[in-house]
Amino acid sequence: MSDCPTRKWPSLVGTGAAAAAFLAIPLFFKAIGLRSGPYWLDLLNTVGLYTILALSLNVILGHAGMFHMGHAAFFAVGAYTTAILNLNHGWTILATMPAAFLAAGLLAAILAGPIIHLRGDYLLIVTIGIVEITRIALSNNIFGLTGGPNGLVGIARPSLFGFRLSKPQHFFYFIWFMVGVTYVMFYFLENSRFGRALKYIKEDTVAAESMGVNTTAYKLIAFVLGAAWAGVAGAIYASRMRTISPDSFTFEESVLLFTIVILGGSGNQKGVMLGSFMVIGLPEIFRGFQDKRLLVFGAALVLMMIFRPQGLFPPTPARVKLSDAWSNKLVEPATNSESDDG
Amino acid sequence: MPPTLLSLHNVYKTFGGLLAVQDIGFEVIRDTVVGVIGPNGAGKTTVFNLITGSIKPDSGKVIFLKKPITGLKPHSIVNKGIARTFQTIRLFSKLTVLENVLSGCHTRMEAGLVASILRLPSQRREERKFIDRAMDELEFVGLESKWQHPADSLAYGDQRRLEIARALASDPQLLILDEPAGGMNEQETIKLGDLIRKIKKRKITVMLIEHDMSFVMDVCDKVVVMEGGLKIAEGSPMEIQKNQRVIEAYLGVDDENGY
């Protein structure tokens, strides 16, 4: 136990160095004068956006173990909330982000109420229904707000303290900052009373309930939180693309996100990040395969299920630090009389 | 404090056409160990499920600490002070031993979503406090050195003890054990008896279902006997052993149990 701090520091330094190197990528591209730099940055931005989405889905699917395949619906609600508030009411993009969070969360709360008790494949089917209904509603210009199949055009760029984010490298820092926020937030959540409750639910709902976890409430909150955060990702997406249409929020998007989480390792955030790079990044690098992407997905999933059903990085045991008193007690060997409960 | 901790009054439960529990009523006195025995299918586990809220009675009342708890959800019953273990072990098998015990602490902790996401100082303080508390419970059952192991790597008897530690971590006034000695060897059963006496010393009332008659007669202060959904006898272990109805219905027929 006493060597915990010494082991922790190099890993922190390593993570910091890796993060710094990653954040230097735009500068590096500029320095070497890479002509395709903006293209690669754009790809990294897409990966980043999917990482935020997948991390938010991970709370629902990975931690709480709920088979939710309709995440694109909440992504869409966030994007459309931002677009409508910006275009029709002149809100700045940053101001629309909390609104996107709330709108997606509210829809999730309304929808989840009646379906939250469904298990496994039953929930899966209902959530597929949600994403399809959302897409069709958007296509039909619901409330006369969504612009029908053509979607909404001319969404503003976000401005930070008067600085307008317009180039890929601007979005690179914005999006990956949000990835960092998402990661830390959900990391804290995972290692808390709340996160543990979700793990208990995933492992054995009956036992979790019998240990005092209000399983219905926790599932509902996890679902709403994950959905609301997908709404934030939607807000970023809308301002990055400037144009959104129902085509961007299909069932296929939901499947993609589902695949990222399962492939990466449901419940493990590092695995989910790696999954985003693999599922979104690799097909771009191997462009020749792109039209066979679904085939590759299928094959990858089948192989994963056979050889690594837990995902690339399965969840690791929780790292818990004992109090000094307990650490010292356990290091000392002569406590046999205690362990014998006579 | 009332001497009666828990009481059941005219409790009925049917599953389809089957009368699982009929007109069951008995009292559990504070700081005692109460055994529920009876042949398989007598309705013992159903009674436990009715008390812990896993199933709701068709009629009748369950009173805990003078208040009705009939029809409450299991998680709120745990919060009121009734913890349980299961007939077939239901640990969170992929999680560590410590995490399993922390699940018992859940109901006594307060940190919510926002405090957890922001890792507020109050949340961290609470975590530290309850990690210590969980370790104390592990020490109580003698598993503290295995706190980092995955629960499913433990030996069978240790898993049973871990389930008890997990239940104790919820700070119960009543601990319900469903066949705690099931699958244990003689040595482990003796240690379990000692553990239950230690629990009783902590002023925690214990109810248990058990088929091992010498174990029941040894640790219980009172025994309730069920058959076919009915309570057929109730009394001290001595009285039960002499009860003609019990001998006919249960002990006399099934001589495998050794009484």
Q: How far is B2 from chain A (nearest CA, A)?
A: 25
ipTM of the complex: 0.91
Is residue A67 situated within a structural domain? yes
Confidence band of A325 (pLDDT split at 50, 70, 90): confident
**pLDDT (tens digit, 9 = 90+) per residue, B9-33?**
999 999 988 889 999 999 999 999 9
CATH no. for B1-81+174-259: 3.40.50.300
**pLDDT (tens digit, 9 = 90+) per residue, A242-254?**
999 998 899 989 9
Amino acid type, B213: M
Residue-wise over B23-37: b if at least 16 C-beta within 10 A, else e?
A: ebebbbebbbbbbbb
Q: With 70 as the cut, is the pLDDT of residue A290 above it? A: no
Is residue A11 situated within a structural domain? no
Write down the pTM of the prediction.
0.89
Q: Total structural domains in chain A?
A: 1
Q: What is the pLDDT of residue B242?
A: 87
E-strand ranges in chain A read 152-153, 159-160, 163-164, 243-244
Instruction: Judge: B135–A322 Cβ closer than 8 Å, yes or no.
Output: yes
- B88-171 under CATH 3.40.50.300, yes or no: yes
Mean pLDDT value across residues B48-76: 94
Is residue A161 situated within a structural domain? yes
Q: What is the pLDDT of residue B250?
A: 65
Domain residues for the domain of A236 are: 36-250
The secondary structure of chain A in percent helix, strand, coil, rounded to multiples of 5, reads 75, 0, 20
Is residue A334 situated within a structural domain? no
Q: In what order do the strands lie in the sheet containing B174-178?
A: B82-84, B174-178, B205-209, B33-37, B222-227, B230-235
Is residue A68 situated within a structural domain? yes
Residues of A in contact with B52 (CB under 8 A): 210
User: In which element (H, E) is residue A171 found?
Assistant: helix A168-190
The answer to whether A122 contacts chain B (CB < 8 Å) is no
- Are domains B1-81+174-259 and B88-171 of this chain identical in fold? yes
Q: With 90 as the cut, is the pLDDT of residue B97 above it? A: yes
The answer to whether B148 contacts chain A (CB < 8 Å) is yes
Q: With 80 as the cut, is the pLDDT of residue A334 above it? A: no
The domain limits of chain B are: 1-81+174-259, 88-171
**pLDDT (tens digit, 9 = 90+) per residue, B157-203?**
999 999 999 999 999 999 999 999 988 889 999 999 999 999 999 99
Query: Measured between CB atoms, which of B99, B117, B140 is closest to A196?
Result: B99
Q: How far is B163 from chain A (nearest CA, A)?
A: 10
Is residue A90 situated within a structural domain? yes
Amino acid type, A105: G
The tokens 């295995």 sit on which residue? B146
